[in-house]
């Protein structure tokens, strides 16, 4: 959808509100750079001094877990803590037909039992350098935006290469403040990572989808891995010690991790677009899909298995979208954004104009170019085959972005992946989206349908058409896909595969939608946001934090309950007793049935052990697996979720109800010792 | 929604298609009057002669089961067969805290054990007389439509009274062919009805919502009652004997029952409106509600209990709406409806004009006047209190229809009913519908919201507003409701109940929507359809069947499988073995877990016993509980559902895939004898 280009207006206003109006002191907002930390804020509000040593220690104990999330070192022997859901892919890959590690959990009794995770690498940020001046040195005001960017890109490539040549680290230049600043980050890479311990999925994700984004919670969403070097456990200088005496209500805590992406810079008009058009439309699609998928799943266990991934995805997105829309529909969040009309020719006005166009074209772009009318793997493959044939005939620079040389490799990997595709699921999804096509076209083009529908077969019902397209298309066979890809334009053009024919007929319409949208929405918005960002950075510099960009950030906050809208008080820390209580009230029905190990071991557990907790830290997707750290720099918990109110964090942070949800450090050790007999690990954690 | 006024164009076209184009012989279409039976059609296609004796016998064995559905006499001692789901309300009412009859089923070992069902009456149609001429006698062409109707109504009242005075029967005049004909039906009433036998819900509705409207099926959707007269089992002359040797693939069968309502007379433009506007919009609401309700239910067992009825209703409506929309989106059903533009001033043109208005006003009417924006019991009650106060101050004839004297009693019954209303469910539903309000108003009134929103509080988010309205309203307390109702306008006007205030603020807007809709859509459509019907009846008379009107009808058809859209063959008759097979494949998980009695008794059962079957009979809601009858006039089965393709039966009947689903007669007897030890009943059935 529309690319986000953060500006800072929001932050300023929010800071103003928080300082002057709602709260006696500033809210715990911000995903701060480690080299521009919120020292003053923390000192003022909590009386704690963020020292350079503290910061360096925490920074170098932090880990980026592949491209999936965050993690941290928790022992001198390379022990790594992250979320169970972040490491789930490895558990899946390490499972055998006899032993499903997601179901059964895993514990390596000795170093030798630790299981190597192939393909997994972790990145430890060991250095950062402000290279803004260097990057900008060659770009002159006379250059066009495009030329200037080329010059900068060249410098970036050189900086990364030079730095890498000197050391064994991996270097990446990251753009911050939409080009206001550049940082050269050096990462130490570990790529021999082994699985040490994981609990059963049923306790890692206790409460499943129903409790997702809710609170109170009871999840041991934790897995432990270990970094090896030269076949031996890595010797680690900077790691987080385990906390003593837990963490208490009101206590100051930090989160160090890799938040993925925020959009706190959206203009008022852009937020209105999100509220009025983007999210309602997104939810319309998600609602119908969730119903269709779950009705299909309910018909049989085999159906359930086939649709599980699709359904889980839809449910998660639906919950997030509802939370975000709920945030955007909260008038108190809008009151303090000035209603002034954007000035003539201002970036705000350019954004407004682009959105005016988007209003009437976004749905068509989404349905036709992004393929929402043809929701199926079969269509996606057919579309890719068609474009691959035509695009690769063109000079590289004239191709659609995803078909340029640099991207072709990964595109082909997707295209030729041999993942199972079920005919019945494909027919189900396509039938529903073709039904939606009929509805929408009728809805938005009432009375003048015929003009727009020449690209689809109008003599069949959605179900008949979907069935024909899916059953008669052969592109679900990888060999056939490869044959067509090799045959180029000829193979596509003369194919009698009905889905390829559909994709082909659709091309002129789809490309027109894309061109219009890119030219009238994306390009002007990108330019306008860059302009806005530049102005603001000139004014405010690094006195504020930049939007999240999957680089290491520090957020501060406190353990703190909140009030639900109906006035119910939510206490910040849950206990083991609370988990068993919830299970019992649900009669131990899935997903409220803890694993056998916990039910059998119940009497051994201290029922008062803290389980999960909420804090006011400002986090977002990507922070999953981040350590929750106390002022001593120790592990107080493990971030794994936000509550429903935190879902609008991508637009705006509010402290009133938005909370970060963590596994409490104590429950991890309690479980390791008493349920999993993992004393060697608990000892290693120093507990 | 828009009132249906059947015309006959559709039927003619369909008959034409069926005779000439698609099928070699006429399709098994029609819900025929017993005094204008499809004798020729049945003779031509199946070589069977419908004799007056056969018809009279079947007619007088047929039963209307209260206002809920159909039934039949199956023994000379007053034994009544209907669906488990039709009699479910009585099972519920007869349950005690110790014995839930829906869960546990019921069997009366002796006559004395049969349980009286208070308030239940059944109607047996024993006579019918064509009174068209009498009814129309007093109406002259000079009279206005309204005057003429008054005269007719007076005649109808006299006819009903005179007939009732002469005998003990209850007489009702029914309008057929939209006024083309009138019938005086005489019903014998039985009001001492007792429960004899009902199986457990888990076998009556095996497969639950997932299998609803699907096939193959395995349901014993059957209950047996008995009519008593003077404290003794009623002596019944006309009853259906049980069939011998079951019913076979291809066999001719009849359904005698009370189909509720069909809309086979809609004009092309009206069907387009249903396809383009009505159903897509209905489904939008149903999809979001199903997701919101089921997510709430999944959070705890108590939530599940509280939301169960709402969720079950939404799921059933959703499935029906999808089936109906699917029918309307099937181009082959449209091809043979002429595309000619309605002639100037023709009824078709008037309908088209009314729909043109409806297009732009239906959503607003539905959301504001019909209350979809304020989905909650609390709002419904508050609205009723407000209207009750203001409307009853007016002369009777000027009031809104539902507040006229004749309707006040039943309105007050609803208003003062003390059914449980859960605050959390109310907040959930209202939050979602207020969220929808924000979305829709933004969607349809983008940029000019403010004008339309003065009636709601814009300073709160949907959730905050819903919470405030629900928690601070006191109208959920029946005493408070009565107090306000007694206080009249003053009590309403000066109430500080926030929901009453909202309903009050809403009144002018809502009434404007209603007035506009009634004047510009409903009234002209009613008049235009009456005009159409008159013309057609003059031309065709009773050579065709009238739209369903909850009077006794006969439909004919054959036991016949069909092809799914993906080419799968569906065999017409399932077996007991098939049921156990399905349960096993679903690992006996709800709703695929048959009751203990069946699992324990499995070995006693003949696995080849036919279980459910599909036939081509033309049925619709109201037919539930109808007997499926063979040519000998014997019970071959018990109608309980239609498949998904039959859902468009209200608009059009097609024989290709649309099927009526029945319980096979054999499985009922097999279960009575071998599972329930109900030999006395099996003996009574002569089996």
The gap from C-alpha B197 to its chain's centroid, in whole angstroms, comes to 24
Confirm if B509 and B368 have CB atoms less than 8 A apart.
yes
Separation in Å, CA of B545 to nearest CA in chain A: 28
**What's the longest Cα–Cα distance across chain A?**
75
ipTM: 0.89
Structure tokens at B348: 């078709």
Mean pLDDT for the stretch of residues A340-369? 92
DSSP state of B305: H
- Chain B residues lying within 8 Å of A423, measured CB to CB: 566
Task: Give the whole-angstrom CA distance, residue A336 versus residue A330.
Answer: 12
- Virtual torsion, Cα B594, B596, B601, B602, nearest 10 deg: 40
CA distances to A83, A92, A220 from A625, rounded to whole Å, are 5, 18, 12
- Interface contact A446, partner B, CB < 8 A: yes
**Predicted local confidence at residue B531, as pLDDT:** 87
pLDDT at B454: 58
**Cβ within 8 Å, pair B461-A332:** yes
Region A62-87 average pLDDT: 97
Burial classification of residue B428, based on how many CB atoms lie within 10 Å of its CB (0-12 exposed, 13-18 middle, 19 or more buried): buried
Residue A318 buriedness (CB in 10 A; 0-12 / 13-18 / 19+): buried
Mean pLDDT on A176-186: 89
Which of A319-328, B533-542, B571-580 has the weakest average pLDDT?
B533-542
Looking at every residue in chain B, the average pLDDT score rounds to 90
User: Can you give the three-state secondary structure of B28-81, one letter per residue?
Assistant: CCCCEECCECCHHHHHHHHCCCCCHHHHHHHHHHEEEECCCEEEEECCCCCEEE
Q: Which CATH architecture has domain A31-121+191-259+555-684?
A: Beta Barrel (2.40)
Q: Which residues pair with residue B193 across a beta bridge?
A: B227
Residues 6+ apart with CB under 8 A from A430: A374, A375, A376, A378, A379, A462, A466, A469, A470
Q: What is the pTM of this model?
A: 0.89
Report whether A52 contacts A165 (CB < 8 A). Answer: no
Mean pLDDT, residues A199-214: 95
User: Nearest-CA residue of chain B relative to A279?
Assistant: B439
Q: A589 and B210: CB-CB below 8 Å?
A: no
A635 phi and psi, to 5 degrees? -70, 115
- What phi and psi values does residue A63 have, to the nearest 5 degrees? -135, 140
Q: Please tell me if residue A467 touches chain B, with a CB cutoff of 8 Å.
A: yes
Query: Which helix H or strand E contains B127, and what residues bound it?
Result: strand B122-130
Structure tokens at A482: 């490869």
Task: Verify whether the Cβ–Cβ distance B276 to A439 is below 8 Å.
Answer: yes
Contact list, B301 vs chain A (CB under 8 Å): 585-587, 589
Q: Is A185 helix (H, G, I), strand (E, B) or coil?
A: strand
Under 8 Å between Cβ of B60 and B237: yes
Q: What is the pLDDT of residue B210?
A: 93
Of B417, B411, B217, B425, give the one whose Cα is nearest residue B314. Answer: B425
Domains of chain A, by residue range, sit at 31-121+191-259+555-684, 127-190, 268-530
The helix/strand/coil state of A72 is: strand
CA–CA distance, A537 with A644 (Å, rounded to integer): 32
**8 Å CB contact of B442 and A276:** yes
Q: Which residue has the higher pLDDT, A391 or B397?
A: A391
Chain A residue with the nearest C-alpha to that of B281: A439
Closest-CA residue of chain A to B311: A291
Q: Answer for the pair A26, A41: CB distance below 8 angstroms, yes or no.
A: yes
**Phi and psi for B195 in degrees, rounded to 5?**
-80, 130
| Residues of B in Cβ contact (< 8 Å) with A471 | 566-567
Q: What is the pLDDT of residue A453?
A: 58
Interface contact A316, partner B, CB < 8 A: no
At A13 the pLDDT is 35
What tens digit of pLDDT does each residue of B470-506 get? 999 999 999 999 999 999 999 999 999 999 999 999 9
Q: Assess B210–A contact: CB distance below 8 Å, yes or no.
A: yes
Strand partners for A80: A73, A225
Nearest CA in chain B to A567: B467
- Answer yes or no: is pLDDT of B7 > 60: no
Tokens of A207: 């409460």
Residues B219 and B582 sit within 8 Å (Cβ to Cβ): no
The yes-or-no verdict on residue B441 having pLDDT over 50 is yes
- Where does residue A346 fall: left (phi above 0), alpha (psi -120 to 50 degrees), or beta otherwise? beta
What integer pLDDT is reported at residue B397 of this predicted model?
Answer: 84
Q: Can you tell me the distance from the alpha carbon of B465 to that of B469, in angstroms, rounded to the nearest whole number?
A: 6
d(CA B563, CA B574): 16
Nearest to A300 among B295, B567, B585 (CB): B585
- Is the CB of B299 less than 8 angstroms away from the CB of A464? no
Over chain A, what is the mean pLDDT?
90
pLDDT-above-90 percentage for chain A = 74
Q: In whole angstroms, what is the distance from residue B638 CA to residue B408 CA?
A: 38
B332 touching chain A per CB within 8 A: yes
Q: Who among B301, B315, B463 is closest to A587 (CB)?
A: B301
Nearest one of A617, A654, A666 to A257, comparing CA atoms:
A617
Is A301 in the B-facing interface, judged by CB distances under 8 Å? yes
pLDDT for res A23:
36
Of B300, B439, B471, the CB nearest to A566: B471
Given pLDDT bands bounded at 50, 70 and 90, which one contains residue B445? low
Q: Per CATH, which fold does B9-121+191-263+547-684 belong to?
A: Thrombin, subunit H (2.40.10)
Cβ partners under 8 Å of residue A483, min gap 6: A491
Q: How confident is the model at residue B134 (pLDDT cuts 50, 70, 90)?
A: very high
Write out pLDDT tens, residues B197-255.
999 999 999 999 999 999 999 999 999 999 999 999 999 999 999 998 789 999 999 99
A4, pLDDT greater than 50: no
Least confident of A267-281, A431-445, A559-573, B458-472: A431-445
Residues with Cβ within 8 Å of A458's Cβ and at least 6 positions away in sequence, in order, are: B331
**Is the CB of residue A587 less than 8 Å away from at least one CB of chain B?**
yes
Q: Which segments of A586-678 does DSSP mark as H helices, in order? A: 596-601, 665-674
> What is A509-550 written as a DSSP string?
HHHHHHHHHIIIIIHHHHHHHHHHHHHHHHHHGGGSPPPP-S
Distance of CA A647 to the CA centre of its chain: 12
Find the mean pLDDT for residues A198-213: 96
Q: Would you call B302 an interface residue with chain A, using a CB distance cutoff of 8 Å?
A: yes
List, for residues A400-431, the tens digit of each pLDDT value: 989 988 789 889 988 998 888 999 999 999 99
Is the separation of the CB atoms in B255 and B240 below 8 Å? no
Answer whether A287 touches B (CB < 8 Å): yes
Shortest distance, CA B233 to any CA of chain A (angstroms)? 43
Q: Which residue of B has its CA nearest to A428?
A: B566
pLDDT digits (tens, 9 = 90+) for A95-118: 998 999 999 999 999 999 999 998
Q: Tell me: pLDDT of B449 over 80.
A: no
DSSP string, B319-361: HHHHHHHHHHT-GGGTTTS--PPPPTT-HHHHHHHHHHHHHHH
Task: Quote the pLDDT of residue A264.
Answer: 87
Q: For residue A528, what are the β-bridge partners? A: none
Query: Cα distance from A290 to chain B (closest Cα, Å)?
Result: 7
* Of residues A291, A446, A467, nearest to B291 (C-beta): A291
**B584 at interface of A, judged by CB pairs closer than 8 A:** no
Predicted local confidence at residue A597, as pLDDT: 98
Strands A252-257 and B573-575 come out as unpaired
Tell me whether residues A291 and B295 touch, CB distance under 8 A.
no
> How are beta strands A569-570 and B252-257 bridged, if at all?
unpaired
Report the alpha-carbon distance of residue B287 to residue B322 in Å, rounded.
10
The stretch A597-606 carries a mean pLDDT of: 97
Q: What is the pLDDT of residue B25?
A: 53
The Cα–Cα gap between B602 and A90 comes to 45
Three-state SS for B354-374 is HHHHHHHHHHHHHHHHCCHHH
A299–chain B Cβ distance below 8 A for any pair: yes
Query: pLDDT-based confidence at A217, cuts 50/70/90?
Result: very high
Confidence of residue B444 (pLDDT cuts 50, 70, 90): low
Give all strands of the β-sheet with B610-615 in edge-to-edge order: B553-558, B252-257, B627-629, B635-642, B660-664, B610-615, B573-575
Cα(A97)–Cα(A118) distance, rounded to whole angstroms?
A: 18
Average the pLDDT over each of A186-195, A416-425, A467-476 and give the range with the smallest value. A416-425
Per-residue model confidence (pLDDT) at position A25: 53
Counting residues of chain B whose pLDDT is more than 90, the rounded percentage is: 74
The residues in A 500-559 lying below 8 A from B, measured between CB atoms, are none
């Amino acid at each position: 959808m529309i690319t986000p280009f953060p500006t800072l207006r929001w932050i300023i206003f929010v800071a103003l509100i928080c300082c002057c109006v709602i709260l006696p002191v500033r809210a715990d907002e911000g995903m701060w750079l480690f080299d521009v930390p919120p020292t003053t804020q923390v000192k003022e509000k909590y009386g704690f001094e963020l020292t350079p040593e503290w910061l360096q220690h925490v920074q170098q104990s932090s880990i980026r877990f592949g491209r999936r999330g965050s993690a941290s070192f928790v022992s001198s022997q390379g022990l790594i803590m992250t979320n169970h859901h972040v490491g789930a892919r490895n558990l899946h890959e390490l499972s055998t037909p006899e032993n499903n590690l997601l179901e059964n959990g895993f514990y390596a009794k000795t170093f030798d039992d630790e299981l190597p995770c192939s393909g997994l690498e972790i990145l430890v940020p060991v250095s950062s350098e402000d290279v803004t001046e260097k990057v900008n040195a060659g770009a002159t005001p006379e250059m066009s935006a495009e030329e200037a960017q080329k010059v900068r890109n060249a410098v970036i490539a050189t900086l990364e290469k030079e730095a890498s040549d000197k050391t064994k680290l991996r270097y990446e230049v990251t753009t911050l403040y939409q080009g206001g600043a550049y940082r050269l980050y050096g990462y130490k890479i570990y790529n021999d990572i082994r699985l040490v311990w994981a609990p059963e999925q049923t306790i890692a994700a206790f409460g499943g989808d129903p409790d997702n984004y809710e609170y109170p919670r009871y999840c041991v969403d934790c897995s432990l891995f270990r970094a090896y070097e030269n076949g031996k456990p890595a010797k680690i200088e900077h790691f987080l010690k385990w906390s003593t005496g837990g963490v208490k209500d009101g206590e100051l805590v930090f989160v160090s991790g890799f938040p993925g992406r925020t959009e706190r810079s959206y203009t008022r008009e852009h937020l209105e677009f999100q509220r009025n058009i983007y999210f309602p439309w997104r939810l319309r699609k998600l609602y119908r899909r969730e119903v269709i998928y779950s009705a299909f799943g309910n018909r049989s266990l085999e159906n359930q298995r086939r649709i599980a991934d699709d359904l889980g995805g839809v449910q998660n997105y639906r919950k997030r979208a509802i939370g975000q829309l709920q945030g955007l529909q909260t008038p108190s969040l809008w009151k303090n954004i000035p209603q002034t009309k954007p000035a003539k020719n201002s970036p705000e006005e350019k954004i407004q104009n682009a959105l005016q166009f988007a209003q009437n074209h976004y749905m068509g772009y989404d349905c036709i170019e992004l393929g929402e009318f043809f929701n199926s793997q079969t269509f996606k493959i057919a579309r890719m085959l068609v474009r691959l044939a035509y695009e690769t005939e063109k000079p590289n620079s004239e191709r659609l972005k995803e078909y340029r040389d640099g991207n072709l490799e990964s595109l082909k990997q997707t295209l030729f992946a041999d993942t199972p595709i079920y005919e019945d699921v494909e027919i189900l999804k396509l039938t529903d989206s073709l039904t939606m096509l009929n509805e929408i076209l009728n809805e938005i083009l009432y009375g003048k349908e015929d003009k727009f529908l020449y690209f689809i077969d109008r003599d069949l019902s959605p179900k008949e058409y979907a069935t024909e397209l899916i059953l008669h298309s052969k592109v679900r066979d990888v060999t056939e896909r490869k044959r067509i890809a090799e045959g180029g334009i000829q193979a596509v053009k003369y194919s009698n595969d009905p889905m390829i024919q559909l994709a082909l007929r659709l091309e002129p319409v789809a490309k027109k939608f894309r061109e219009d949208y890119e030219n009238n929405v994306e390009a002007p918005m990108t330019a306008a946001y860059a302009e806005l960002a530049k102005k603001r950075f000139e004014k405010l510099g690094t006195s504020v934090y930049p939007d999240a960009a999957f680089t290491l950030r520090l957020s501060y906050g406190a353990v703190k309950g909140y009030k639900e809208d109906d006035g119910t008080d939510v206490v910040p820390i849950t206990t083991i007793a609370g988990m068993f209580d919830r299970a019992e009230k649900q009669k131990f029905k899935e997903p409220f049935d803890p694993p056998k190990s916990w039910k059998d071991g119940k009497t051994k557990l201290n029922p008062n052990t803290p389980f999960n907790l909420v804090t006011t830290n400002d986090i977002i997707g990507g922070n999953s697996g981040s350590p929750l750290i106390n002022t001593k720099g120790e592990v107080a918990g493990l971030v794994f979720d936000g509550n429903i109110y935190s879902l609008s964090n991508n637009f705006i942070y509010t402290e009133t109800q938005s909370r970060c949800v963590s596994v409490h450090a104590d429950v991890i050790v309690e479980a390791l010792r008493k349920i999993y007999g993992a004393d060697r690990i608990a000892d290693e954690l120093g507990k």
